[in-house]
Amino acid sequence: MLRPDPQKGRSLEKFAKYTQSWLRPAAEEDSGNFRVWETQHGPPSHSIPPHLLTKAARRVGGDAKAKAVSERLFEAYFAENLDITTTETMQAIWKECGLDEADYVHTADDDLLQEVLEDHREAMKFGVNGVPAIMLVGTDVAITGAHPRALYRRWIDRTIAEREGTV
C-alpha cells in the first residue's frame, strides 16, 4: 500500500498476518517471489523512502539503475522480508545495484521528495493505493497489486477491442 506518512504503532504480528494475502500471487505460474513475513524486520514504516531510492537511482544512473533498484526493492520486501524503509537496507540495495556510495545523498533531495509526493497525489486520483500498479496509456483505470497474467491479458485484449470498435 502507498503510505506517504510513517505508520506509528503498526504491529509486526498484524503486518505478518496481512502478508498471508501474498500467497495468492505466489501460487500463480511465473509469479514473482513472495514469502509470508517470517522475520523480525519491519514492518516497513511508509513508502516514501523506497520511492526516493528509486528516483535517486534514476537521477544518478538513468533508467537501467532505477529499474535495478526497483526490482531489488521488490525482492527484498516480498521474498526476503526486509524492511525496505530502513537506511541500512536502502544503502545495501544502493550498493548492490552498483551505485556510488557518495551519490546516496540524493535520496535526501527535497526536489525528489516533492516528485514522490506529486506521484502519490496523481496515483490517488486514479485509485492506486499500492504497488505494483499498471495503467494502460490512454485509459484512466489502473490495476493495483499482483494479479495473474490472464487478468492483464483480458484487460489488454478488451481495451484493444474497444479502441478498434469490435466490442
Task: Give residue 30's pLDDT band: very low, low, confident or very high (50, 70, 90).
Answer: low
CATH fold for the domain made of 12-126: Cyclin A; domain 1 (1.10.472)
- pLDDT tens string 73-122: 989 988 899 999 999 999 999 999 999 999 999 999 999 999 999 988 88
CB 57 within 8 A of CB 105: no
**pLDDT over 70 at 162, yes or no:** yes
The pLDDT value given to residue 33: 74
Would you list the domain boundaries of the chain? Answer: 12-126
For residue 1, what pLDDT is reported? Answer: 47
Residue 63 banded pLDDT, cuts 50, 70, 90: very high
- Three cell numbers, residue 85: 524503509
Kindly report, residue by residue over 115-158, the tens digit of the pLDDT. 999 988 888 888 887 777 888 888 888 888 777 778 888 989 99
